[in-house]
Amino acid sequence: MISRRNFIAAFACAAVMPKKLFAASAADFDETAAVLLADIHINGTSGPKMLNFLKSNVAEILRMDPLPRHVFVFGNIAHLKGNPVDYKKTYPELKLLTDAGIKLTLGMGNHDHRAAFFDCWPEYAERTLVPGEVHTVTSLPDYDMIMLDSLNETGRAGEFNESSGIISDASLEWISANLPKWPRPFFLGAHHPITQIVYRGKWGALKNVIAQSPQCKGFINGHTHVWITNFIDSKNPKTVPWLTLPSGGCWGDIGYTTFTMEKWRDRKAVVARLVQKDFLLRNPVPKKDRPPFWDARMLNNKGAHCTFVI
């Protein structure tokens, strides 16, 4: 174990991520900062494209100064069918974050399978607030991040699930009992966009929960693979921002999102900023064949951010 300063100096020149990390102290962390990832889609049996993006993202996070105390992954850890080998391939890369003292929170997407996930990350079977699902609450100094499990699991590991999302009866009971009276500001997160989640038998009805929860400051999801900022309900004057995250490395906007506390006028705010590494559709192509739109998309996204007023 070496100091963080010496680790960063050595790591900047290293070709391979070291397996023993630096010894981080409390002073190395910003307790209010987080990084948001989604749709990392690691394939345990094929090429390295997505895994290389994950390694790059993890390396950049570990070089941040100060370190973010939290990293959240909004589902689709596995590539397509939630194979156990996908999680085994992902595990050592994500564990580098926890070894450094970063608190990692993982969520479920439509390409995940819970049993295979629990085999690799058994602590989530204890951490979840809804048995059998991956439903978590993580407390930061100024707010809570509530990550719902929107996976509609219709198959077993090695099979496709339903693409759209659903809130189970057990989660619905927890949401109804807790969110309207939640005591702290919170963000509601899920893998699926709110319009693609069935809640109480209706598409998009989860927005009614947000309208009835005065402490909800925003909704965050993955799934779509492109950075999108929106708002939940045009009929509600107290609507909250809605952020869709980029892909961690599969296709679409490629990158991650920093999530930091800042001042907005005289209020506290959390500002989500896009860190874009690339834009691609399905696979990279040689520079000479790269469609102009791909670079135009990156240019349009430069400086993209979303402000959530606390």
Q: What is the pLDDT of residue 10?
A: 46
Return the bridge partners of 261, or none: 270
> Phi and psi for 237 in degrees, rounded to 5?
-65, -20
Q: What is the pLDDT of residue 75?
A: 98
C-alpha 29/C-alpha 255 separation (Å) is: 22
Nearest to 128 by CA among 73, 63, 180, 174: 174
Half-sphere exposure of 227 (CA within 13 A, CB side): 27
User: Rounded mean pLDDT of 127-145?
Assistant: 98
> Can you spell out the DSSP letters for 97-161?
HHHTTPEEEE---TT--HHHHHHH-THHHHH-SSTTS--EEEE-SS-EEEE-------S-TTSPP
> Is the confidence at residue 38, as pLDDT, over 60?
yes
Q: What SS3 string covers 231-275?
A: ECCCCCCCCCEEEECCECCCCEEEEEEEEEEEEECCEEEEEEEEE
> Is the confidence at residue 11, as pLDDT, over 60?
no
For the chain, give me the number of helices (H) and strands (E)?
8, 15
Q: What is the pLDDT of residue 192?
A: 98
Q: What is the pLDDT of residues 241-272, one digit of tens each?
A: 999 999 999 999 999 999 999 999 999 999 99
Q: What is the pLDDT of residue 21?
A: 54
Residues 76, 113 contacting (CB under 8 angstroms): no
Residues 249, 49 contacting (CB under 8 angstroms): yes
Please identify which residue in the block is written with the tokens 């607030």: 129
pLDDT bucket at 24, cuts 50 / 70 / 90: confident
Residues 55, 7 contacting (CB under 8 angstroms): no
Q: What is the pLDDT of residues 163-221, one digit of tens each?
A: 999 999 999 999 999 999 999 999 999 999 999 999 999 999 999 999 999 999 999 99
CA torsion angle 120 125 129 133 (round to 10): 70
Distance of CA 299 to the CA centre of its chain: 23
> Is the confidence at residue 8, as pLDDT, over 60?
no
Q: What is the pLDDT of residue 203?
A: 96
User: What are the tokens at 165?
Assistant: 């999302």
Q: Cis (ω within 30 of 0) for the bond into 237? A: no
> Can you spell out the DSSP letters for 160-209?
PPPSSEE--HHHHHHHHHHGGG-SS-EEEEESS-GGGEEETTEETTHHHH
Q: What is the pLDDT of residue 56?
A: 98
Q: Which domains does the chain have, with CATH numbers?
A: 29-309 (3.60.21.10)
Confidence (pTM): 0.93
Please identify which residue in the block is written with the tokens 């990350």: 121
Q: What is the pLDDT of residue 285?
A: 92
> Is the confidence at residue 6, as pLDDT, over 80?
no
Please identify which residue in the block is written with the tokens 């006028």: 265
Mean pLDDT is lowest, of 2-11, 150-159, 169-178, 277-286, for 2-11
Q: What is the mean pLDDT of the chain?
A: 93
> Is the confidence at residue 17, as pLDDT, over 60?
no
Residues 238, 212 contacting (CB under 8 angstroms): no
C-alpha dihedral sign at 85, 132, 211, 308:
negative
pLDDT bucket at 25, cuts 50 / 70 / 90: confident
Q: Which of the two residues, 15 and 153, has the higher pLDDT score?
A: 153
> Is the confidence at residue 106, as pLDDT, over 70?
yes
